[in-house]
Amino acid sequence: MKTFDKPAGVAALFSLMLTPESARSFADSWYHAWNAHALDAIMHHYAPTIEHSSPFIKRYNGTDDRSIRGIAPVRDYFARALDRNPTLRFDPLHLAIGLESLILVYRRMTGDLAAEVFFLDEGGKVVRSVSHYG
């Protein structure tokens, strides 16, 4: 296992297989960054090649695209989400752990449930994320 630089000083260990500790560390850091509206800290979780998919992309980008690719377009999309939602908050409900992915289930500031699947690289960075709402 290798140690990688993690957001906000989180010392998490990642390898090809997630551990409960590394998944929890990622989740805690991800929630903290979003709830603080700290865009740089949010983006630290994502790889340069990130592909993000969300039902909201069509609505807020005004396109038929189902996903956004690349760190700069994803950063712009997330920045606009923070601007649109000054009360944005994610309250953790559940963490499910796979071999190279994890799922965060949380309650949004609207009271709606959400689940997000994250596929991670060996360094613990998100290479693909898929958002679900309902």
Note whether residue 31 is domain-resident: yes
pTM: predicted TM-score of the whole model, two decimal places: 0.85
* Encoded amino acid at 120, one letter: L
Q: Quick one: pLDDT at residue 53?
A: 96
Q: Quick one: pLDDT at residue 16?
A: 55
Domain extent, residue 72, equals 13-133
Note whether residue 1 is domain-resident: no
Instruction: Choose between 47 and 7: higher pLDDT.
Output: 47
Residues 64, 68: Cα–Cα separation, whole Å: 11
Q: Quick one: pLDDT at residue 33?
A: 98
Average pLDDT over residues 28-51: 98
% of the chain surpassing 90 pLDDT: 75
Q: Quick one: pLDDT at residue 40?
A: 98
Angle formed at CA 132 by CA 125 and CA 119, multiple of 5 degrees? 20
Asked if 9 and 28 touch (Cβ cutoff 8 Å), the reply is no
Note whether residue 4 is domain-resident: no
Work out how many domains the chain is built from and give that number: 1
Note whether residue 21 is domain-resident: yes
Residues 65, 15: Cα–Cα separation, whole Å: 32
Note whether residue 2 is domain-resident: no
Residues 32, 45: Cα–Cα separation, whole Å: 12
Average pLDDT over residues 33-41: 98
The CATH number of the domain holding residue 102 is 3.10.450.50
List pLDDT tens digits, range 58-104.
Answer: 888 788 889 999 999 999 999 999 999 999 999 999 999 998 899 99
Q: Quick one: pLDDT at residue 64?
A: 84
Note whether residue 6 is domain-resident: no
| Rg for the chain, CA atoms, rounded | 14
